[in-house]
Structure 1
Amino acid sequence: MAVLAVCGDVVALSAGSVLTVVPLRGSSSRPFFYDCSTAERKPLDNKSEDDVCEGQGSDRILAAAFSASGNYFALTDDNKRLILFCTKPSWKCISIRAVVRRCSSLTITLSEDRIFVADKSGDVYSFAIAEPQKKGQLELGHLSMLLDVAVSPDDKYIITADRDEKIRVSLLKAPHNIASFCLGHREFVSRILVLPNAGNLLLSSSGDSTLRLWEYEEGREVQCCDLTSYSSSGGENLEKKIAVSRIIYCRPGNFIAVLCDSFPVVYLFQFDIVSQRLIHTQSIPLKHRGWDIAFDAASGLWVLQEDKDEIIALYRLVEGQWQQAFDDKELKKISTIFRERWALLQECLGGKTFYGDLYKSTHDNMASYLSKKRERQEQMKKRKGKHLEENKHLKKLKTETPSSCL
């Protein structure tokens, strides 16, 4: 999985095992590179049998995120490590810690004191930032694989989403206390996003092709948007189920961009603060499959895509419509550097879907039952018909046989 993240004046890309950080807007800083394959191996204490079975990882980066201020950047890799960077005054790795399971998502609190890491076994661990060598602490657990984790803007709640359609809202200081559940999705919940300036509203996406807006403290659904009703060209609707691989928010203008797994389109919404509703404003068709998206500080929309010649595209809002920018100097610089990672991107992402294996397999037991029932009914009819024919034949023999022969 590739992760594209923009914060302040830097663009970060994880491709394979390599983190690439490129400064923007004429900064004199040089690009920063970090290869997880060269990182220190951190042994786990008290390894379980499951840990041994998982075996050695590939150093591939699985999840990454900036802190709100951009002072910290954290990533987890396939070798079950959490790597923390300090970004100011310059990028520097300050800790490498072991995680119990391979992770699916991570987030950093607004106060920048803890990192919350969600893993595939359904657990969330917290890691202290001020104590960079301290081991992780188990905070909460689900009975299903966790796909995303988020923290409310006031650091009051931790919100988790799992494969079994559940969104759980827990108190951050006491995660065993559950405030609410947001229930309504009919497939795995792929992404969640707390809207930063909209009270207690949460946006979620699912493999059921919907975006849902919630008042998460009460667990009440406010709005449901069916993504199959928005065509990239205004023509026919999408028929196949789609899963959202990324939801991002742009505070200036309250814009929301949505990227779908394996669909070459970016959906743009605007959040109306007065009506507390999402309004679909535009669908941007992509020439190639999109891998990730991010907003920058100047409200530019960056799209990482499966095209070596145009590996990253930039869109800006012009007269109410998002239009592609071609002659941007920063875009050209970043494109040149990112093309060097093309082989890594192709290796870890080429032709793969993020969520295809998470859909529940369905088996039509009723169709099989009805088919077998029809077969039994046909066999009974045949046996009954054969029995009637035999009775008729016996009656005929009785009437035709002379009484002297009896």
Structure 2
Amino acid sequence: MEESAEIVSDGGHEAAAAAAIVDTENGLVEEEKNMDVKVAPALISVHPFEKSVVVAVGSELRLFNLEGDCSVSLKDDSGGPLHSDAIRAITFGANGRLFVSAGDDKLVKIWATSSWHCVCSVSADKRVSAVAISHNGKYVAFADKFGVIWLITLDEDDANQSKVDNKAVPILGHYCSIVTRLEFSPDDRFIASSDRDFKIRITAFPKRPLKGALEIQSFCLGHKDYVSGLSFACPSGYDHGFLFSGGGDSTVRLWDFFSGLLLATCEVGAKAELLQSTGTKDSYPPVTDLCSSSDGTIIAVAIQSLHGIVLLNCDFSDRTLSVAKVVTLEENYFPTSLALSTFTQRMWTIMGASNDLAPSTTQLPTRIRVISGFCKDRSNDNGHDPIVLEDNEVPGGQKLLSHLQGSPDVTKEDAALAAAAEAVKVSMRNMLIKKEYTLDKRELRKRNRNDRKLR
């Protein structure tokens, strides 16, 4: 009887140990879910000729047609939701014919802007973190959170862009580092990719890219934290052009991307007087977004702790970057995404975040602000005289704002705006700051992986 009791006891210990492992695994999974990307920054993208504006908030895509002065519903014949999880990247093609959205549901959706039908939906192995469309309209590139960059081929001969090869082919990788941004160079000779491990890779885009992009042109190394923004510039008189980058180290940098040479660094956080006196890494507010005109005459930067945007001047001949002006917006407005209309020289900004875990009573607001007047003004020493438009002056007016912002009642509440700003800050950190795990936690995370494999 004693031996039997001992066996039962050992079995109980084994069961308790197994239960403890399950509890630990469940706890880790729950921790991962809480740390993961439940809060997603709001994104904005503008048609290159300002024919339409698209906003992504969580899993929702909101579209307003400026030509028709009306909201538009996107159509996906698959019958399911447009997206079922947070959208992480949206972009228009250079000619405006295509729009691409992708995110945490591991789907990349390609839309024809003539009809706003989804012409292709590609399933990825992992969550998608960045997308780009080649300037010639022949390819869509996207990156997943394992650091792999994939390519989708488009049929340019079809005027409606309805023929798309829905098979994605891997062409290059960042080796287990989350890719944060993708950009094709204006001549489509190169593709720039950045990651959360401070690297910018410039890859020669081959004539037959489906066989892989194996030739690395250069690495642009210098950031001391994740890279959050990339933008090519091609001023006249320069063969290869330049690359701007912004990062979590609160800097904007100018690169000769052809050689990988760092030409200039502007500490935008310090110049905007946003640095704290603690001297710690957290005291440097990260650059959340960056965009520029094709010739580099306009460089706009959004910083996490700045209620406005910073405009930079770039002297390409002297290889210098300097702050031209800080455009201040209302308190508690911290842009999460920027979009420049090259046709009208208007800057569209958005602040907001989704919060799938929050009850409806604490809905996080979305707010859009538009800045005009980016054309060169020779009488102005700063080179630009931007004007923040009032709501009734925004193209599309209140009709556009009501649709793209969602509920208009919460957008002007200071507490709600402050909550959105804090949610975005947490989201950016959880998404891009590299996490450290003990050996035991690494093994548990491996057992709980739920990657979707392509068949």
Check whether TM > 0.5: yes
Alpha carbons of structure 1 residues 310 and 115: separation in structure 2 relative to 1, 3 Å: closer
CA contact (8 A) 1:17 1:35 kept: no
Return the offset for 1:64.
0.9
For these two proteins, the number of residue pairs brought into alignment is 343
Return the offset for 1:77.
2.9
2:247 paired with 1:211: no
1:148 to 181, 186, 192: 181
* Unaligned residue ranges in structure 1 (runs of 5+): 43-56, 363-406
1:202 to 243, 250, 257: 243
Letter in 1 for 2:263: V
More moved, 305-314 vs 286-295: 305-314
Distance 2:129 2:408 in 1: 23
More moved, 174-183 vs 207-216: 174-183
Q: Residues 254-309 of structure 1, C-alpha deviation per residue, up to 9 Å, x if partnerless?
A: 11111123542311113334434333211122322222222222111222135999
2:429 paired with 1:351: no
Letter in 1 for 2:298: F
Q: Residues 288-332 of structure 1, C-alpha deviation per residue, up to 9 Å, x if partnerless?
A: 222222222211122213599982112222864222121415243
Distance 2:294 2:189 in 1: 21
Q: Which residue number in structure 2 is paired with residue 277 of structure 1?
A: 320
Alpha carbons of structure 1 residues 236 and 168: separation in structure 2 relative to 1, 3 Å: closer
More moved, 334-343 vs 134-143: 334-343
CA contact (8 A) 1:269 1:279 kept: yes
Alpha carbons of structure 1 residues 341 and 195: separation in structure 2 relative to 1, 3 Å: farther
2:398 to 315, 332, 348: 332
Q: Which residue number in structure 2 is paired with residue 71 of structure 1?
A: 97
Distance 1:37 1:245 in 2: 34
CA contact (8 A) 1:203 1:213 kept: yes
Q: Secondary structure at the match of 2:258?
A: coil
* Unaligned residue ranges in structure 2 (runs of 5+): 1-40, 156-162, 207-211, 278-282, 354-363, 375-379, 437-455
2:63 paired with 1:17: no
Alpha carbons of structure 1 residues 208 and 94: separation in structure 2 relative to 1, 3 Å: same
1:255 to 276, 298, 304: 298
Distance 1:117 1:236 in 2: 33
Percentage of matched positions with identical amino acids: 23
Which residues of 2 match residues 45-64 of structure 1 at below 5 A? 58-64=84-90
Return the offset for 1:202.
0.8
Q: Which residue number in structure 1 is paired with residue 204 of structure 2?
A: 171
Identify, as 1 or 2, the structure richer in strand: 1
Structure 1 stretches of 4+ with a deviation exceeding 6 A read 35-38, 307-310, 342-350
What is the RMSD of the two structures over their aligned residues, measured on CA atoms? Answer: 3.2
Q: Secondary structure at the match of 2:122?
A: strand
More moved, 311-320 vs 179-188: 311-320
More moved, 319-328 vs 15-24: 319-328
Which residues of 2 match residues 31-46 of structure 1 at below 5 A? 31-34=71-74, 40=80
Return the offset for 1:104.
0.8
2:168 paired with 1:136: yes
Q: Secondary structure at the match of 2:348?
A: strand
More moved, 167-176 vs 261-270: 261-270
Alpha carbons of structure 1 residues 196 and 176: separation in structure 2 relative to 1, 3 Å: same
Distance 1:18 1:38 in 2: 16
Alpha carbons of structure 1 residues 37 and 190: separation in structure 2 relative to 1, 3 Å: farther
Q: Residues 48-103 of structure 1, C-alpha deviation per residue, up to 9 Å, x if partnerless?
A: xxxxxxxxx94321211100011000111321111111112x32211111112111
Q: Secondary structure at the match of 1:334?
A: helix
Distance 1:253 1:154 in 2: 15
The normalised TM-score by structure 2 is: 0.68
Q: Which residue number in structure 2 is paired with residue 46 of structure 1?
A: none
2:73 paired with 1:28: no
1:113 to 138, 144, 152: 138
Alpha carbons of structure 1 residues 217 and 309: separation in structure 2 relative to 1, 3 Å: closer
Letter in 1 for 2:68: S
Distance 2:352 2:336 in 1: 7
More moved, 279-288 vs 96-105: 279-288
Q: Residues 224-259 of structure 1, C-alpha deviation per residue, up to 9 Å, x if partnerless?
A: 01112222xxx6755521222211123478111111
CA contact (8 A) 2:75 2:116 kept: no
The normalised TM-score by structure 1 is: 0.75
Which residues of 2 match residues 231-380 of structure 1 at below 5 A? 231=272, 237=275, 240-251=283-294, 254-286=297-329, 287=331, 288-296=333-341, 297-306=343-352, 311-317=367-373, 320-326=384-390, 327-328=392-393, 330=395, 331-340=397-406, 351-353=423-425, 354-357=427-430, 358-359=432-433
Letter in 2 for 1:81: L
More moved, 120-129 vs 184-193: 184-193
Alpha carbons of structure 1 residues 157 and 342: separation in structure 2 relative to 1, 3 Å: farther
Distance 1:60 1:304 in 2: 16
Distance 2:405 2:320 in 1: 39
Distance 2:146 2:326 in 1: 35
Alpha carbons of structure 1 residues 136 and 227: separation in structure 2 relative to 1, 3 Å: same
Distance 1:224 1:212 in 2: 4
